[in-house]
C-alpha cells in the first residue's frame, strides 16, 4: 500500500457504514466505568460524613483526593504501551474488588479500628481513584485503532458524562434506599467485573494467557457475590461493634439509617434511637426534651384542641386536646413508632400511632 493509501486508511475505517461491534462495546463500557467511578466517590463521601460528621468537609476532601488520584492514574497510563486490552482487563478487576468492597472495608474499619478510619478511607480513595484514572486513557488508546481522534474524544467524553449523570441521580434516589450502602458498592463492583469479562470475550484472540484472565474474572465475581450474600451480616457485625448496647432494630430509609438499641434494667438507658449513627434520644430521659418543647407552647395557647408537631407524649395528656398529628420526615420511623411507642403515664398503655385521636403525617418531598 502506497503512502497516500496509508493516510486514507483511518477515513476508510470510519466510512465502513457505522460503528463496529468492538467500538460499540467499548463505548458502552465507558458508560459503565464512568458510573462505577462516580459511585465509589459518592460512597466514600457519604460514609465519611456518616462516621465523621461535617458532610461539607468530608465530601470536599474525598472528592478532591479522588480527582487528584484520577489525575495521577491518567499520568501513569503513558507507561502502558503493549497489550492494552490485557491491562484494561486487569485494571477493571482491581477496581471491581477495591471499589466494590470499599463500603464493607470502611464500615469494618470504623467498627474494629476507629482510630485508623481516616487512613483506610483516604488510602482506598487514592487507590480506587488512581485505577479509575487509568481506565479512560486506555480505552481511548484502544479505540484509536479504529476511530478518528475527533470522533473518539467526542464519543468517549459523551458516554463518560452520561454515566456520571445516571449514577448521580440513582445513588440517592434509588440505589441506597433500596439496596443500602454495602450492596450498592457490591453491585457496581459486579458491573466492573462484568466489563472485564466483556473485554475478555472481545479481545480473546489477542490476549496472552487467556485462561489465567478467565480464572481471575471468575474469582473476582465469586468474591463479590459471596460478599453480597453476607452483606447483612457484615452490616450487623459492624453495628454490633459500633453501639455499646444490643441492637434490636435497624433499617435504612431513603433519608437515613435508623438503629434502635436496648439496655434494660434499673439505671440503664433503655431504648435509644440513632439516626446515621448519631444519638437522637434515650428512653430513660427523653421526656425532658419533649416536655420542654411542648408544655411552654401548650401553656401559652391556653386550651388547644388540635395539635401538630413531633412531641406527642406530653401533648396527649393535655385534657383539652382532641386531635394530635405527629409530623415526621421518615415513614420508617413512623412505622417503628406505631409498633412500639406507648404512653405509660397513669397506667395507660395506649399506642399513640393507633390511637383514634392521633395521626401521623410525612411531608411530601421532604429533603430531610
CATH for 309: 3.40.50.150
Helix (H, G, I), strand (E, B) or coil at 308: strand
197 and 221 belong to one structural domain: yes
Q: Are residues 115 and 199 in the same domain?
A: yes
Name the 3-class secondary structure at 259. Answer: strand
3 in a structural domain: no
The lowest-confidence range among 61-75, 200-214, 243-257, 282-296 is: 282-296
DSSP state of 281: E
352 pLDDT higher than 60: no
The whole-angstrom separation of Cα 41 and Cα 364 is 29
Q: Which three cell numbers stand for residue 189?
A: 463492583
DSSP state of 345: G
User: What is the share, in percent, of the chain residues with pLDDT greater than 70?
Assistant: 72
Q: What is the pLDDT of residue 13?
A: 40
When pLDDT is cut at 50, 70 and 90, the band that residue 38 belongs to is: very high
Q: For residues 59 and 194, state if they share a domain.
A: yes
**Residues 257, 208 share a domain:** no
At 132 the pLDDT is 94
SS3 350: strand
Q: What is the pLDDT of residue 134?
A: 94
Kindly state whether residues 141 and 110 are assigned to the same domain: yes
User: Is 80 exceeded by the pLDDT of residue 224?
Assistant: yes
Which of 228, 263, 284 is the last residue before a domain boundary? 284
- Say if 141 falls within a structural domain: yes
Model pLDDT, residue 16: 47
Name the domain boundary from 208, 239, 270.
239
- Flag whether 2 is in a domain: no
Mean pLDDT of 104-122: 92
pTM above 0.75, yes or no: no
Mean pLDDT rounded to a whole number for the chain:
78
Does 81 reside within a domain? yes
What's the rounded Cα separation, in Å, for the pair 118 and 122?
6
Round to whole Å and give the CA distance between 360 and 338.
9
- Is the pLDDT assigned to residue 150 strictly greater than 50? yes
Assess if residue 33 is contained within a domain: yes
Is 297 within a domain?
yes
Greatest mean pLDDT among 48-57, 262-271, 348-357: 48-57
Q: Which helix (H) or strand (E) holds 37?
A: helix 21-52
Greatest Cα-to-Cα distance within the chain, rounded to the nearest angstrom? 101
* pLDDT at position 90: 95
At 143 the pLDDT is 78
* Region 120-132 average pLDDT: 97
Least reliable range by pLDDT among 2-6, 20-24, 111-115:
2-6
Q: What is the pLDDT of residues 244-273, one digit of tens each?
A: 788 888 877 766 778 888 887 766 778 888
Which residues make beta-bridge pairs with 275? 258, 278
Alpha-carbon span 341 to 89, nearest angstrom: 54
If asked whether residues 224 and 364 sit together in one domain, one would say: no
204 and 153 within one domain: yes
Query: What pLDDT is attached to residue 347?
Result: 39
Angle among Cα 213, 219, 220 to the nearest 5 degrees reads 90
Same domain flag for 227 and 145? yes
Q: Residues 126, 212: one domain? A: yes
Are 199 and 269 found together in one domain? no
Q: What is the CATH number of the domain that holds 259?
A: 2.30.140.10
Whether 293 and 275 share a structural domain: no
In a domain, 1, yes or no: no
Number of domains in the chain: 3
Average pLDDT over residues 181-191: 95
pLDDT digits (tens, 9 = 90+) for 280-324: 778 777 766 667 777 777 777 767 766 665 555 555 555 555 555
The domain that contains 103 carries what CATH number? 1.20.1250
Helix (H) or strand (E) holding 358: strand 358-361
In a domain, 226, yes or no: yes
- Segment 172-188 mean pLDDT: 91
Measure the CA–CA gap between 45 and 163, rounded to whole angstroms: 19
Which of 284, 307, 337 is the last residue before a domain boundary?
284
Phi-psi region of 267 (alpha: psi -120 to 50; beta: other; left: phi over 0): left
Q: Are residues 336 and 260 in the same domain?
A: no
Digit-coded pLDDT (tens) for 77-97: 999 988 899 999 999 999 999
Average pLDDT over residues 196-219: 92
Residue 107 has pLDDT above 70, yes or no: yes
Residue 122 vs residue 51, higher pLDDT? 122
Which range marks the domain in which residue 332 is found? 285-368
Amino acid at each position: 500500500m502506497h503512502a497516500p493509501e496509508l493516510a486514507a486508511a483511518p477515513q476508510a475505517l470510519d466510512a465502513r457504514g457505522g460503528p463496529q461491534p468492538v467500538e460499540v462495546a467499548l463505548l458502552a463500557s465507558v458508560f459503565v466505568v464512568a458510573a462505577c467511578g462516580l459511585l465509589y466517590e459518592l460512597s466514600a463521601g457519604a460514609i465519611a460524613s456518616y462516621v465523621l460528621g461535617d458532610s461539607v468537609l468530608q465530601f470536599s476532601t474525598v472528592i478532591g483526593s479522588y480527582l487528584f488520584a484520577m489525575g495521577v492514574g491518567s499520568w501513569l497510563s503513558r507507561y502502558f504501551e503493549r497489550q492494552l486490552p490485557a491491562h484494561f482487563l486487569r485494571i477493571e478487576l482491581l477496581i471491581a474488588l477495591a471499589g466494590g468492597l470499599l463500603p464493607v472495608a470502611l464500615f469494618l474499619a470504623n467498627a474494629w479500628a476507629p482510630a485508623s478510619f481516616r487512613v483506610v478511607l483516604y488510602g482506598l480513595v487514592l487507590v480506587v481513584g488512581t485505577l479509575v484514572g487509568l481506565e479512560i486513557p486506555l480505552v481511548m488508546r484502544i479505540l484509536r485503532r479504529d476511530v478518528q481522534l475527533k470522533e473518539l474524544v467526542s464519543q468517549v467524553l459523551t458516554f463518560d458524562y452520561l454515566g456520571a449523570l445516571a449514577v448521580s441521580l440513582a445513588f440517592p434516589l434509588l440505589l441506597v434506599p433500596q439496596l443500602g450502602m454495602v450492596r450498592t458498592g457490591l453491585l457496581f463492583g459486579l458491573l466492573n467485573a462484568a466489563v472485564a469479562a466483556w473485554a475478555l470475550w472481545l479481545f480473546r484472540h489477542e490476549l496472552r494467557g487467556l485462561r489465567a484472565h478467565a480464572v481471575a474474572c471468575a474469582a473476582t465475581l465469586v468474591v463479590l457475590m459471596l460478599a453480597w450474600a453476607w452483606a447483612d451480616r457484615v452490616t450487623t457485625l459492624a453495628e454490633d461493634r459500633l453501639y455499646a448496647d444490643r441492637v434490636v432494630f435497624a433499617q435504612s430509609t431513603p433519608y437515613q439509617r435508623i438503629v434502635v438499641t436496648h439496655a434494660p434494667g434499673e439505671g440503664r438507658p433503655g431504648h435509644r434511637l440513632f439516626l446515621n449513627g448519631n444519638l437522637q434520644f434515650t428512653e430513660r430521659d427523653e421526656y425532658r426534651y419533649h416536655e420542654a418543647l411542648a408544655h411552654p407552647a401548650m401553656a401559652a395557647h391556653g386550651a388547644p384542641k388540635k395539635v401538630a408537631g413531633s412531641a406527642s407524649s406530653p401533648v396527649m395528656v393535655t385534657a383539652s386536646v382532641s386531635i394530635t398529628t405527629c409530623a415526621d420526615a421518615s415513614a420508617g420511623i413512623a412505622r417503628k413508632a406505631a409498633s412500639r411507642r406507648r404512653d405509660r403515664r397513669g397506667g395507660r398503655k395506649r399506642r399513640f400511632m393507633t390511637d383514634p385521636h392521633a395521626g401521623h403525617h410525612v411531608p411530601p418531598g421532604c429533603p430531610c
